[in-house]
Chains A and B, each alone.
Chain A
């Protein structure tokens, strides 16, 4: 019961802040409300016992990626004339929502008909760093190594892209 109330509150917060994120005019407002979305999603992770993912979400997403975005927004020194003048922004948002709504309604209907169980969590160890780490290093070793190569490529690519002259 308590979990349901918490879930409803977090759901509301994440939906409202993501709507603010896509409709705000200045990018700094979008970034700040996106932080709220990310933290509420992290809390939703914690609500189903995914404690390790909760920590990772807060450290990497809210901590690293979003502070990187905020730094870039501050360094670029964006003024109002640098922003695109989206005269018909609200009309665009309304039109795309009307187009997208039927598809999401079909998906929601599918989910409501499915038999996803609603059971309370039984295992205390589930979702801890030990459990996730054991799975990561037994069944997922190859994707893990590939991700390390990907991170190296992204590192080199970021440095070469942002050099002054190639």
Chain B
């Protein structure tokens, strides 16, 4: 079953990468990043059950904390970008390139 966990983690990671590359909606891209983190967490938990070592569980706990802080920053980014561009299209977010 643990091999199944690793394979599921690889499949979810690939789905996340496909979503991250091929979508242009910034909210979907953010959720794809979260899916990547979750796939890594899944494989860490499987390894921790395999080795009967709880270090991997602590690692995934820290990953969840990092994902939470990432979520806070992304949410404020969504608000700022949507206020400036009134769109969720990442192709329009070029404000760092100066005024057009």
Q: Which A residues fall within an 8 A CB radius of B? A: 3-4, 7, 11, 14-15, 18-19, 21-22, 24, 27, 30-31, 34, 37-38, 41, 44-45, 48-50, 52-53, 56-57, 60-61, 64-65, 68-69, 72-73, 75-76, 78, 82-84, 86, 89, 92-93, 95-97, 100-101, 103-104, 107-108, 111-112, 114, 116-119, 121-123, 126-127, 131-132, 134-136, 139-140, 143-144, 147, 150-151, 153-155, 157-159, 161-162
Which of chain B's residues has its CB closest to A162's CB?
Answer: B76
Question: A157 contacts B57, CB within 8 Å?
Answer: no
**Given A44-B42, A116-B50, A22:B27 Cβ within 8 A:** no
Pick the contact of A83: B25, B34, B58 (CB < 8 A).
B25
Interface of B is mostly: helix
Question: A104 contacts B11, CB within 8 Å?
Answer: yes
Pick the contact of B42: A41, A89, A101, A140 (CB < 8 A).
A41
A127 to B50, CA, bound (A): 12
Q: Which B residues fall within an 8 A CB radius of A? A: 1-8, 10-19, 21-25, 27-28, 30-32, 34-35, 38, 41-42, 45-46, 48-50, 52, 54-55, 57-58, 60-62, 64-73, 75-80, 82, 86-91
Residues in B whose Cβ lies below 8 Å from that of A22: 15-16, 18-19, 22-23, 28, 32, 35
Residues in B whose Cβ lies below 8 Å from that of A144: 62
A53 to B1, CA, bound (A): 19
Interface of A is mostly: helix
Which of chain A's residues has its CB closest to B92's CB?
Answer: A84
Question: B35 contacts A37, CB within 8 Å?
Answer: yes
**Given A34-B35, A65-B68, A136-B61, A157:B73 Cβ within 8 A:** yes
Residues in B whose Cβ lies below 8 Å from that of A76: 78-79, 82
Question: B48 contacts A50, CB within 8 Å?
Answer: yes
Question: A132 contacts B54, CB within 8 Å?
Answer: yes
Supply 22 A–B pairs (Cβ within 8 Å), ascending by A. Answer: A3-B1, A4-B1, A21-B19, A21-B28, A21-B31, A22-B23, A31-B31, A50-B49, A56-B61, A69-B75, A72-B27, A84-B87, A84-B91, A93-B18, A121-B49, A123-B52, A126-B52, A132-B58, A135-B57, A150-B69, A155-B69, A158-B75
